[in-house]
Amino acid sequence: MSPDSRFDDIRPYNDQEIPAAMQRLAREPLLDQVFSWLFPERPVGEFRDLLLTVKNNEELQINVMHPIILSIIEKTMSSMTFSGQKYAKKDKGILYISNHRDIVLDATLLQLVLYQSGLSTTEISFGSNLMQSPLLVDMGKSNKMFKVFRKSGNMRELIRHSRLLSDYIRDRTGRGISIWIAQHEGRCKDGNDVTDPGLLKMLSLSGKSNATGNLASLNILPVSVSYEIEPCDILKVKELYQRTLHESYTKAPGEDLVSIITGITQFKGRVHMTLCPPVTAEDMEPIASMPQGAFFREVAALINRRIYEGYKLYGINYAACDLLSGKQEFSEYYTDEDLKLLEQREILLADQESVSREIMKQMLRQIYAGPVLNKKKEGL
């Protein structure tokens, strides 16, 4: 087995596989609704024809995905800004580790930032739980997404998948291909962005040096994305509330697709993405002698701090903090309009009896307060 063939089950489509995938996508009935929403002034058949002209990934990203991203921004955001692109270097593969608020948009917006900054776009991690339908597989793998197996109860399978993923990421970054991966499995649903030390342990598995050298050689660059209106905020609260009632939550069939569509189409207000300073060998040198578990926890804390520093805080975030605490600690940072915006989100919560509704309101406020509380906790 060649080294590359080990990755066949998880890698994106290569350029030779793209035309056949485009033919399948062009026959997909769901695209009528998607393209009609994105480009109501253009005939749907025009985009089907465009898909059939795509011969490789670069053409797909430039001719199809770039206009789609711009349309999503125009329809669902007041503004989309970014900063810190100076930290991304053209001459090497970078591992972007990002906070994760939306299934699709976090990574998609990074691609726009990189493209508009004259930098190479990335391959994107995509949970195996999301690649359940042929449509999502074709859409994902055509857009440079690689499959990440979700954790299961089988420890042997978990170790095997972790090692394969670690090898894959190191292989790609070593070839100068950049990667996007979330800081932990699944989206953040409670407003508290935290890097999983287990992710860093997995990344280190494939190296041939010590833990510091293994991570440093991946060129880790944290990414911080801030949404004024949290994508899927109401759906997240409903899930969190069900977990408090039943201690677990089983998704309904098609629920992930609903979250994808909601995240894309929901109005998000202002959005900002920060490319943060990279995590270097020098950054990790003071903790290099720690036991491995403690070392990974400290590196995770460093990534967290970079992400928190990169937050763009909005009035709704500060308003949620004061409503949670019952104090006026941050009153200078928000207006009556910010309070009204948060109230409008709370109105969208499903009708519940008074106790349940109050719990859900507190959960929603926590989602918006999280970034402020994280910065405060770190003294930023």
Cβ-contact 184, 195 below 8 angstroms: yes
Per residue in 341-365, pLDDT (tens digit) is 999 999 998 776 677 889 999 999 9
Distance in angstroms (rounded) separating the CA atoms of residues 25 and 50: 11
Query: 114 with 137, same domain?
Result: yes
Q: Which of 296, 312, 328 is where one domain is finished?
A: 312
Q: Using 50, 70 and 90 to split pLDDT, how confident is the model at 298?
A: very high
Query: 302 with 327, same domain?
Result: no
Please give the pLDDT value at position 131.
78
Torsion (CA) 148, 150, 153, 157 in degrees, nearest 10: -10
Distance in angstroms (rounded) separating the CA atoms of residues 372 and 361: 18
Kindly tell me if the per-residue pLDDT of 152 is higher than 80: no
Cβ-contact 360, 352 below 8 angstroms: yes
Annotate 311-374 with DSSP letters as a single string.
----HHHHHHHHHHHTS-TTGGG--HHHHHHHHHHHHTSPP--HHHHHHHHHHHHHHHHHHHHH
Phi, psi of 89 (to 5 degrees): -95, 145
Kindly tell me if the per-residue pLDDT of 2 is higher than 80: no
Structural domain including 150 reads: 4-312
Query: 117 with 220, same domain?
Result: yes
Query: 178 with 79, same domain?
Result: yes
Q: Using 50, 70 and 90 to split pLDDT, how confident is the model at 368?
A: very high
Query: 147 with 234, same domain?
Result: yes
Query: 267 with 301, same domain?
Result: yes
Q: In what order do the strands lie in the sheet with 95-98?
A: 77-83, 269-275, 220-227, 95-98, 179-182, 123-127, 145-148
Around Cβ 348, how many Cβ atoms within 10 Å? 10
Distance in angstroms (rounded) separating the CA atoms of residues 78 and 268: 8
Distance in angstroms (rounded) separating the CA atoms of residues 215 and 264: 33
Q: Using 50, 70 and 90 to split pLDDT, how confident is the model at 247?
A: confident
Give me the CATH number covering residue 231.
3.40.1130
Please give the pLDDT value at position 5.
86
Record the pTM. 0.95
Query: 145 with 291, same domain?
Result: yes
Q: Which of 260, 277, 312 is where one domain is finished?
A: 312
Please give the pLDDT value at position 352.
66
Query: 322 with 204, same domain?
Result: no
> In DSSP terms, which residues pair with 83 in a beta bridge?
274
Query: 63 with 155, same domain?
Result: yes
The total domain count for the chain is: 2
Per residue in 310-334, pLDDT (tens digit) is 999 999 999 999 999 999 999 999 9
Query: 97 with 246, same domain?
Result: yes
Per residue in 189-231, pLDDT (tens digit) is 999 999 999 999 999 999 888 999 999 999 999 999 999 999 9
Q: What is the mean pLDDT of the chain?
A: 93
Q: Which helix (H) or strand (E) holds 4?
A: none
Cβ-contact 310, 380 below 8 angstroms: no
Q: Which of 283, 312, 341 is where one domain is finished?
A: 312
Please give the pLDDT value at position 1.
42
Query: 197 with 342, same domain?
Result: no
Torsion (CA) 76, 79, 84, 88 in degrees, nearest 10: 40
Per residue in 30-66, pLDDT (tens digit) is 888 888 999 999 988 898 999 999 999 999 999 999 9
Query: 188 with 237, same domain?
Result: yes
Around Cβ 175, how many Cβ atoms within 10 Å? 8
